Amino acid sequence: MIYLDNAATTKPCKAAISKVTAVLEDNFGNPSSLHNLGLNAEKELNDARRIIAAALVADPECIYFTSGATEGNNLAINGIAESYGRRRKKIITTAIEHPSVSAPISRLEEIGFEVVRIKPDCNGEIEYDSIVSEIDEKTLMVSCMLVNNENGAILPIKRAFGLIKRKYPEIITHCDAVQAFMKIPFKASQLSADVITISSHKVYGPKGAGAVYINKGVRIAPQILGGGQEKGMRSGTECVPMIAGFAKAVEQQHQNVSERLNNAQQLKEYFLDVIDMLEGVTVLSHRDASPYIISLAVSGIKSEVMLHFLESKGIYVSSGSACSKGKKSEVLKAFNVNERLLDFVIRISFSDKTTTNDIDSLVEAIVEAQDTLQKVKY
């Protein structure tokens, strides 16, 4: 099997699996219980908090565990709006956000918030200026992802948020850093984000865990109320095994983010050099995008047809992420991808285990698909 759909999810690493199993078996207490078993579970949770905080170069006090980034993004957007949105009602975001950001923002729009969605320019780049020029005294929050999940585009968040927080400290900045965490080196403080969302299953951890970083002094209204876990920010008994597995996976990676990024960059260069020689293939990701995600279109072969052809060869890719149920990706449209290519997009995304042999097999299979499949006129 050649698994090239790591932006969708990663295979959990062995260390994470062992950790999850060990906690399930030996440390099953409820972290809120006052007896020893509870204290042990609480210790596990706090160890995990320290590890995630260290990876973000942040204070463990700023880390709140969630069930994943969808919950984290909903908590951030709705929690910020509820806490700060009484007088200031303008939300600045981009047209290329993940649905877990864009959907709660659209809901806020329906109930009276003003939303500005910044589009990439004709080169497919979100410009720093286009973010900051929208700021005014009505602005409540700015929510932008760091790395796009469909084509790997890296947004100029550090610069834009840096300026925003310097000039308008009252504006709350949120960053969905799911596709950047453990892939592109960054520190929480460098991003100038008040709130950062991350997810476990994109970084070789188990599904069902994630975290939000909330800077000190930022008030987020909790969205799940109950027993007051996570300092009241996210009630519900913590999923200690998955959180511990998440932290274990992060612990394995966080010392070598740059080295792994370098490897991924070399793989991407290798892939681009080979793919460049093929007729009818258009690479939709920029050279300077995150090397972990490459979006491309093979003219005449519909995404799902290509996906299943590759699957029959044991190669797993994605049909362009938001292209679900045959719908064209609005995000890629916003990136100015030629309408005629949208039906033919596939996304490949690398892991630390991807090799040049995997890429050779993928390219061979694409060539075979071009030779054997009936092409749609485009």
Active-site residues, by number, are 323
Which of 210, 245, 291, 300 contacts ligand PMP by CB under 6 A? 210
Which of 130, 199, 223, 349 contacts ligand PMP by CB under 6 A? 199
The sign one gets for the Cα dihedral 133, 101, 289, 184 is: positive
Query: Binders of ligand PMP: how many residues, by CB under 6 A?
Result: 13
- Which CB sits closer to ligand PMP, 45 or 212? 212
Which of 178, 264, 275, 359 contacts ligand PMP by CB under 6 A? 178
Which of 40, 70, 173, 192 contacts ligand PMP by CB under 6 A? 70
Structure tokens at 298: 């093979």
Which of 23, 108, 144, 145 contacts ligand PMP by CB under 6 A? 145
Structure tokens at 188: 């929480």
How far apart are CB 205 and ligand PMP at their closest, in Å? 10
Closest CA to 58 of 292, 250, 227: 250
- Decide: is 365 part of the binding site for ligand PMP (CB under 6 A): no
Q: What single string gives the DSSP state of each residue in 235-265? A: -S---HHHHHHHHHHHHHHTT-HHHHHHHHH
- Decide: is 179 part of the binding site for ligand PMP (CB under 6 A): yes
Q: Which amino acid is at 270?
A: Y
Asked if 291 and 7 count as a contact pair (C-beta separation under 8 A), the reply is no
Residues 100-139 that bind ligand PMP (CB under 6 A): 100
CA dist., res. 255 & res. 285, Å (int): 27
CA dist., res. 101 & res. 33, Å (int): 34
- Which CB sits closer to ligand PMP, 199 or 354? 199
CA dist., res. 375 & res. 378, Å (int): 9
- Decide: is 94 part of the binding site for ligand PMP (CB under 6 A): no
User: What is the binding site for ligand PMP (CB under 6 A)?
Assistant: 68-70, 73, 98, 100, 145, 149, 176, 178-179, 199, 210
